[in-house]
Structure formats: structure tokens, C-alpha cells
Structure 1
């Protein structure tokens, strides 16, 4: 299961998200799609639920959305913004 580290403070709006990593004093910004994914992670949705929701909202093929979301999650993990 994925989880958001407790040392992160975030602000999410329709334009995306800003994530402050308090432990490293670093801010990351996310575009609107990243903000969509981030907000749903905060809500405790599964990756599968996020992918289906984004595919429905954007009217995009599920396989394309899945590849993009998985790549985004890997990026978040590499930046230590997401834990397993």
C-alpha cells in the first residue's frame, strides 16, 4: 500500500499542488493531473481507483492513464514524496 510521509505539507487546488518536504526544506509543484492523483492519494484511494477516476474525468483510454499514473508514482517515490 502506498502512503504519504507525515513530514509533508500540501496545498491542492484546481491548478495542481505544492508539496513541502519539511525534513528536507524542499518544495515540489505538481500540475493539475499530478494534483488530481495527489489529492486522491491523500483521501486513501487505491491506485486502481485513481486510474479509473482520472480516465473517466479526462475521457482518456485506461491503459494510457495507467502508464502515466504508474510513471508519476515512480517519480514521487524517487523524490521521497511517496512511501510503499
Structure 2
């Protein structure tokens, strides 16, 4: 399960999200889909829960969504916005 880090502050609305990293002094913006996934990450959802939420919202094939979520999580990890246990 991905973990968001305590030094992050985020603002989420229907248009997307902004994530401020106080340690790095960076601001990352996400589109509405990314914001939905970020909200799930903040709530401690597993990858499978993120997948189910996205599948319910988009009605797209789970196989493609699984790849998209993996890529999204890799990007967040590379930006030091999440870490794995």
C-alpha cells in the first residue's frame, strides 16, 4: 500500500489537486483523476481499492487502469510524494 508522507499538504477539489512538499519546497498539481487517486492514497487505500474506485468512476477496462495506476504511483514515488511500506 502506498503511503503519503507527513510533510506533504494537499488541496483537492473537483478540478484536481495541488500537493505541497515542505521538505523539497515543491508544488505538484494533479488532474481530476490524479486527485481522486491521491485522495484514496491519503485515506490509506490499497492498490486494489484505488483500481476499483477508478474502474467505478470511468467504466474503463481494469487491465488498462491497473497499468495506469502503477505508472501514476511510480511517478509519485519518483517525486518523493509517496513511499511503500
1:14-61 Cα deviation digits (max 9, x unpaired)? 111000000111100000110010001111111101101101111100
1:2-17 matched pairs, under 5 angstroms: 2-17=2-17
Corresponding residue number in structure 1 for 2:21: 21
Could you tell me how far apart the structure 1 residues matched to 2:44 and 2:81 are?
15
Question: Following TM superposition, where does structure 1 have runs of at least 4 consecutive aligned residues deviating by more than 6 angstroms?
Answer: none
Q: TM-score, normalised by structure 2?
A: 0.95
Ranges in structure 1 where 5+ consecutive residues have no aligned partner: none
RMSD: 0.7
Equivalenced residue count is 84
Q: TM-score, normalised by structure 1?
A: 0.96
Greater RCO, CA 8 A, separation 6+ = 2
Q: Shift of the alpha carbon at 1:81?
A: 0.4
Corresponding residue number in structure 2 for 1:63: 63
Point out the structure with the larger strand share: 2
